[in-house]
Amino acid sequence: MNGAYIADYIVARSAATISHALQLIETSRRHIATARKRRWRAIRGGSGPQADTTAASLRARVRLLVNANEIPRIASACCMEPKPCDICGRQMRSGSTEYEVGFSNLSFRIDADCFTLWQEEMLRTATRRQR
């Protein structure tokens, strides 16, 4: 075999590989553009920004965040930037106390009022389990 023949073969294979890669990239771009144009319908029936903040509904939300099988990691800190509470949705003001409660597969940030509710529900659940 001739050295020039091998070099020509390598150049031809490289050009074919590059051409195929460019075709794949273009196909991917078209698929992404098509997916972005699709309009997804909103899920209906959930609570929106004006969520129900009655005591009963807040307690129901808190019960979803109670895990009596695990000891949570709890950290309290001064809220540095306004952000919504993960339970009630109210904005936590800068300078107010925020609590981060973490389990092995879940973590949430809540304000002082919701933390009190969460503590009560944790104690209530622990008391029920002991009976």
Ordered by start, the domain boundaries in the chain are 1-38, 55-130
Q: What pLDDT, in 10s, does the model give residues 18-65?
A: 999 999 999 998 888 777 665 555 445 555 555 566 888 888 888 888
How many CB atoms within 10 Å of residue 103? 15
User: What gap in Å lies between CA 101 and CA 88, rounded to an integer?
Assistant: 15
pTM of the complete model: 0.59
Handedness of CA 7, 13, 14, 16 (dihedral sign): positive
Of 91, 85, 84, nearest to 116 (Cα)? Answer: 85
Q: Is the pLDDT of residue 67 over 70?
A: yes
Confidence (pLDDT) at 45: 54
Q: What's 55-130's CATH class? A: alpha beta
**Per-residue confidence at 91, pLDDT binned at 50, 70, 90?**
very high
